[in-house]
Amino acid sequence: MKFSFKILLCMMTVIALALGFSGYYFVNYVFETSLEREIGQSLDESSILGFALETAALNVPTNYSVLPDNTIDEIAANLEASGQQKRLLRISDERKQTLYVSDGFFADRQLLEETDAKVKSYHIARSGKKHYVHAVTAVNARNRVLYLETMRDVSEVFTERAMGFSLYRRVTLLMLLIGLLLMYVLTSFLTKPIRILTRATKQMAAGDYAYRANQVSQDELGELTMDFNAMAEALERNVGALEHEVEAKEEFMGAFAHELKTPLTAIIGYADTLRSHSMDEEKRMMAANYIYTEGKRLEVMSLRLLDIIVAGNRKVNLQRVAAQVIFDYLKEMFAGRTDVKMQFSFEAGIVCAEPNLIKTVLVNLIDNACKASEQGGGIEVEGRAKEDGYLFSVRDHGIGIPREEQQKIIKAFYMVDKSRARSQNGAGLGLALCAEILKIHDSELIIESEENQGSCFRFLLKDRASHGEPGLDRENGVFGS
């Protein structure tokens, strides 16, 4: 059953119960008040008739000291006819023997038997659809105790109660019908956010992660819609990232297979020639040399790949290193290169990083700069202390990188000019390794390049002094805060 119908059903039950109880209480209250009034009037009438009986008894001639039974008939007949309508009464003597009874008086004798000379009593007597107040009162008439019983018709009060109930039933039904319509409109308005959310979940289940639920209220359901949208956003982001990752992996696998294929084809081809043809020493040497070089290329590639995988999966062991230590290492490393003019300039400062990894990044960047430069081209390696960390940059004035390629070159196996890269022993993995290393240092490569003008690769290593790193280790040139 739909939630809105459940609410509707609950509300209608509550309204029906409320109307039913209040109606019953109201009609009954009116009935009881009217009945009490009628009973009061019956008892008053019974008292008045009692007085009239006493007075009439006193007016009987005085030669009787006791009221004779035959005069009682006369008095009773007068009392019976004294009202606007014929009264119903019964007069009994001291022993509760009936002396007079009106036609149509039907009340039984139980009340009379229970009543003594000092009290008045009454009850409601019923005959078919008619209801009467049956009252008994004792009268002192000329040295005799007589019992006067009266019956007053109160059927109207009962009829009014039945009419009240029937009217109230109809009003309740009408109210329920109107209530049903109003509640239907209200519940569908109140449950609108739920319907919107249901539609949104279905859309998302069908793969439409960009679908968002429209927030139509500011209440708890509105909040739920907002939370749902936030969740959808996170989900869309995560799915996007996963798709991107899968795409990147597929791309990587494709490139990897392709990069494997070239050296393997050469190796297999030359190995086959060697084993199936007899050839002179020079040709044999050439084939063996090809196999060796391509095998070496494969080895370098597999080691680089391993480095990337390891870098991506490890936790960085941050240390506070003097920038000078890194620059001293680089100077020593590239001291023998005479094909380019390399300049190192740096500001004293502390680098917060894992030194060996950062050295790997810088060596790769400098290596790339050398490959991109002409004979004798200038390369500037700089280090600048910044407010929030230490900034490294490697600038060359070589071939540069076309704008549309600049974001692609950090992908594994991507080479702008494949034949040039291969001839320089490149496999398109150096920058991918740099990117992985910088990622675990919470940093990234910023590439600025102009075709035929040169390139500049920069990265900032944030200062983590506040995190409390290890102390000074002067022997290794490693400093602490």
CA 473 and chain centroid, separation: 54
Least distance from C-beta 394 to ligand ADP, angstroms?
Answer: 8
Contacting range for ligand ADP; rule: CB under 6 A; set: 162-170, 216-224, 272-280, 420-428: 420-428
Residue 318 touches ligand ADP, criterion: CB under 6 A: no
CA distance 150 to 107: 9
Residue 399 touches ligand ADP, criterion: CB under 6 A: yes
Letters for 182-201 (x = contact with ligand ADP by CB under 6 A, - = none) are: --------------------
Report strand pairing: 378-386 vs 341-346: parallel
Could you tell me the sign of the dihedral formed by the alpha carbons of 401, 403, 407, 412, in that order? negative
Residue 426 touches ligand ADP, criterion: CB under 6 A: yes
Residue number with CB closer to ligand ADP (76 or 437): 437
Least distance from C-beta 419 to ligand ADP, angstroms?
Answer: 10
Residue 437 touches ligand ADP, criterion: CB under 6 A: no
Residue 137 touches ligand ADP, criterion: CB under 6 A: no
Residue 379 touches ligand ADP, criterion: CB under 6 A: no
Residues in the interface with ligand ADP (CB under 6 A) total 23
Task: Characterize 221-234 residue by residue with b for buried, 16 or more Cβ atoms within 10 angstroms of its Cβ, and e for exposed.
Answer: beebbeebbeebee
Residue number with CB closer to ligand ADP (154 or 437): 437
Residue number with CB closer to ligand ADP (92 or 364): 364
Burial degree of 252 (CB within 10 A; 0-12, 13-18, 19+): middle
Contacting range for ligand ADP; rule: CB under 6 A; set: 126-134, 226-234, 323-331, 424-432: 424-432
Residue number with CB closer to ligand ADP (179 or 398): 398
C-alpha dist (Å) from residue 13 to 18, 173, 180, 315: 8, 12, 10, 64
Residue 259 touches ligand ADP, criterion: CB under 6 A: no
Residue 445 touches ligand ADP, criterion: CB under 6 A: no
Contacting range for ligand ADP; rule: CB under 6 A; set: 169-177, 189-197, 206-214, 419-427: 419-427
Residue 377 touches ligand ADP, criterion: CB under 6 A: no
Letters for 328-367 (x = contact with ligand ADP by CB under 6 A, - = none) are: ------------------------------------x---
Single out the residue of 151, 350, 391, 409 in contact with ligand ADP (rule: CB under 6 A).
Answer: 409
Single out the residue of 101, 416, 440, 445 in contact with ligand ADP (rule: CB under 6 A).
Answer: 416
Residue 179 touches ligand ADP, criterion: CB under 6 A: no
In contact, 216 and 222? CB cutoff 8 Å: yes
Least distance from C-beta 458 to ligand ADP, angstroms?
Answer: 12
In contact, 295 and 263? CB cutoff 8 Å: yes
Residue 435 touches ligand ADP, criterion: CB under 6 A: no
Residue number with CB closer to ligand ADP (134 or 371): 371
Single out the residue of 38, 396, 436, 463 in contact with ligand ADP (rule: CB under 6 A).
Answer: 396
Residue number with CB closer to ligand ADP (150 or 373): 373
Contacting residues toward ligand ADP, per CB under 6 A:
364, 368-369, 372, 396, 398-401, 409, 414-417, 421, 426-432, 455
